[in-house]
């Protein structure tokens, strides 16, 4: 059973606009959440993370929001750039255990 879900397989956004990628989870024990970006023929690259004690974490153009009551997190990219085009995975873990990944969302930023 998929404990981390990304229901949008793809997303297209104009350059300069905001990209919003969404992720839902089912396990209430998850306390650490991450976003990874993956280019073709490369491994996933860590982007940003958030602990369950926070509801927002920001790093430059990237902001992750966590809504624990809704078991939902989102990644905002502002402004979106063509180089942001990649597959984005959200992941979650409970304690020091393994990561559970979503199935990914392919973001295409149109110049």
Q: Residue numbers of the site for another protein (CB under 8 A)?
A: 2, 4, 6, 31-32, 34, 36, 41-46, 49, 51, 89, 91, 93, 95-104
Q: How far is the CB of 107 from another protein (least distance, A)?
A: 16
Nearer to another protein, 15 or 106 (CB): 106
DSSP state of 82: G
Closest to another protein by CB, 5 or 72: 5
> In this structure, what token pair is assigned to residue 93?
């873990």
Considering the complex, what minimum distance in angstroms separates the CB of residue 53 from another protein? 11
Q: Strands 100-101, 10-14: parallel, antiparallel or unpaired by DSSP?
A: unpaired
Angle at 28 (CA atoms; ends 36, 73), nearest 5 degrees:
40
CB of 84 to another protein, least distance (A): 18
As a whole number of Å, the end-to-end CA separation of the chain is: 38
């Amino acid at each position: 059973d998929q404990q981390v879900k990304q229901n949008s397989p793809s997303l297209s956004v104009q350059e300069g606009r905001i990209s919003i990628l969404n992720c839902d989870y089912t396990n209430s024990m998850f306390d650490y959440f991450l976003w990874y970006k993956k280019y073709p023929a490369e491994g996933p690259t860590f982007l940003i993370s958030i602990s369950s004690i926070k509801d927002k974490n920001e790093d430059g153009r990237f902001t992750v929001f966590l809504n624990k009551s809704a078991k939902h997190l989102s990644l905002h990219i502002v402004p979106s750039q063509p180089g942001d085009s990649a597959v984005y995975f959200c992941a979650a873990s409970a304690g020091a255990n393994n990561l559970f990944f979503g199935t990914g969302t392919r973001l295409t930023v149109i110049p």
